């Protein structure tokens, strides 16, 4: 089976206007026909609807949040196989473009043929010792980010083993790494970036959305994107920083859609030769380093906590 990646995220939100502004400021492209529909460079979609819109599936937590995720599939034969595997799942139904059902965590998951476009963007190399990739050319400075695609989503889960089994056994997802008794990182295919889905079980926290994450070109675009969000007065959850477990540089911004929106780059690319690791969930396994509260656009220094 070949689930290729995330095709669409549909949110039900309390403040449609604020969410439209957030997605615009984040660097997503707004549809000419629909002010609540946005795309990445690859054509992945993010849609906004009022929280009580009856066309949305029911929510897995209260407040603004993700209501449906659509995964893209490589070809019709694979889509048929997936539909076969899902028929006994909760709320299974055929749709115009494929099928959908509930995962064991209560999220509505849909499947369709992928319409993602290959994205060709200019990448400026990094000069490292013995590996000169940039000659007579400065490194870029970005005024804002332009996300390339939706790289991964992260859910809080109630039943980690049942949810992991759904994605691995019915959809062919691969385990990349694990936090013992706490979380699992999954990628859609054997050859792929470190994770497309991260399932996290926390004590005293039921099902819900933790964050959605967008791939950008390089570390400079992570920084430029985060600074631009600060300029537009959106608050940082955490970042910039680096995860040792995927090697990715990140910057997370609190979102009025629910959860956080993340810019990231430089995550590990894995193959059949990768051996999944089992790690303790700890501060050092989550962050090598990170800035709490972000960087300020005006001063180019860390945002200072308010004096109280
Ligand atoms: Fe992430």
Q: How far is the CA of 84 from the centre of ligand 1 (A)?
A: 31
Q: How far is the CA of 261 from the centre of ligand 1 (A)?
A: 9
Q: How far is the CA of 270 from the centre of ligand 1 (A)?
A: 17
CB count, 10 Å around CB of 250?
24
Write down the domain spans for the chain.
3-118+145-292
Q: How far is the CA of 244 from the centre of ligand 1 (A)?
A: 12
Whether residue 29 contacts residue 35, with contact meaning beta carbons closer than 8 Å, is answered with: no
Q: How far is the CA of 248 from the centre of ligand 1 (A)?
A: 9
Tell me the C-alpha distance between 161 and 35, whole Å.
39
| Digitized pLDDT (tens) for each residue of the chain, 308 residues in all | 689 999 999 999 999 999 999 999 999 999 999 999 999 999 999 999 999 999 999 999 999 999 999 999 999 999 999 999 999 999 999 999 999 999 999 999 999 999 999 999 999 999 999 999 999 999 999 999 999 999 999 999 999 999 999 999 999 999 999 999 999 999 999 999 999 999 999 998 999 999 999 999 999 999 999 999 999 999 999 999 999 999 999 999 999 999 999 999 999 999 999 999 999 988 888 899 999 999 999 999 999 877 65
| Type and span of the H or E element at 96 | none
Q: How far is the CA of 249 from the centre of ligand 1 (A)?
A: 10
Q: How far is the CA of 200 from the centre of ligand 1 (A)?
A: 12
Whether residue 47 contacts residue 55, with contact meaning beta carbons closer than 8 Å, is answered with: no
Q: How far is the CA of 148 from the centre of ligand 1 (A)?
A: 15
Whether residue 41 contacts residue 119, with contact meaning beta carbons closer than 8 Å, is answered with: yes
Q: How far is the CA of 130 from the centre of ligand 1 (A)?
A: 31
Q: How far is the CA of 243 from the centre of ligand 1 (A)?
A: 9
CATH architecture of 3-118+145-292: Roll (3.10)
Q: How far is the CA of 54 from the centre of ligand 1 (A)?
A: 30
Question: With the CA atoms of 33, 39, 43 and 45 taken in that order, what torsion angle do they form, in degrees rounded to the nearest 10?
Answer: -90
Whether residue 87 contacts residue 74, with contact meaning beta carbons closer than 8 Å, is answered with: no
Q: How far is the CA of 178 from the centre of ligand 1 (A)?
A: 14
Tell me the C-alpha distance between 259 and 261, whole Å.
7
Q: How far is the CA of 213 from the centre of ligand 1 (A)?
A: 5
What pLDDT, on a 0 to 100 scale, did the predictor assign at position 308? 59
């Amino acid at each position: 089976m070949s689930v290729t990646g995330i095709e669409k995220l549909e949110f039900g939100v309390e403040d449609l206007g604020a969410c439209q502004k957030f997605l615009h400021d984040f660097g997503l492209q707004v549809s000419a026909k629909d002010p609540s529909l946005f795309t990445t460079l690859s054509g992945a979609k993010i849609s906004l609807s009022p929280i009580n819109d009856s066309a949305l599936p029911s929510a897995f937590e209260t407040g603004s949040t993700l209501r449906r995720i659509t995964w893209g599939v490589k070809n019709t034969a694979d889509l048929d196989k997936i539909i076969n595997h899902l028929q006994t799942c909760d709320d299974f139904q055929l749709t115009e473009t494929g099928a959908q059902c509930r995962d064991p965590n209560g999220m509505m998951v849909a499947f369709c043929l992928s319409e993602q476009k290959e994205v060709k963007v200019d990448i400026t190399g990094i000069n490292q010792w013995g590996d000169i990739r940039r000659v007579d050319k400065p490194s870029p400075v970005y005024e804002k980010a332009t996300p390339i695609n939706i790289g991964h989503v992260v859910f809080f889960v109630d039943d980690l083993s049942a949810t992991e089994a759904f994605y691995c056994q019915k959809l062919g997802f691969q385990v990349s790494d694990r936090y013992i008794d706490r979380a699992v990182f999954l990628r859609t295919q054997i050859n792929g970036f470190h994770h497309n889905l991260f399932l996290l079980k926390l004590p005293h926290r039921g099902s819900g959305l933790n964050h959605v994450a967008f791939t950008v070109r390089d570390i400079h675009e992570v920084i430029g994107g985060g600074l631009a969000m600060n300029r537009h007065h959106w608050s940082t959850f955490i970042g910039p920083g680096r995860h040792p477990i995927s090697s990715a540089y990140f910057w997370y911004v609190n979102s009025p859609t629910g959860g956080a929106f993340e810019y990231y780059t430089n995550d590990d690319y894995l193959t059949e030769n990768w051996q999944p690791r089992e790690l303790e969930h700890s501060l050092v396994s989550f962050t090598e380093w990170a800035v709490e509260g972000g960087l300020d656009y005006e001063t180019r220094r860390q945002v200072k906590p308010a004096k109280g």
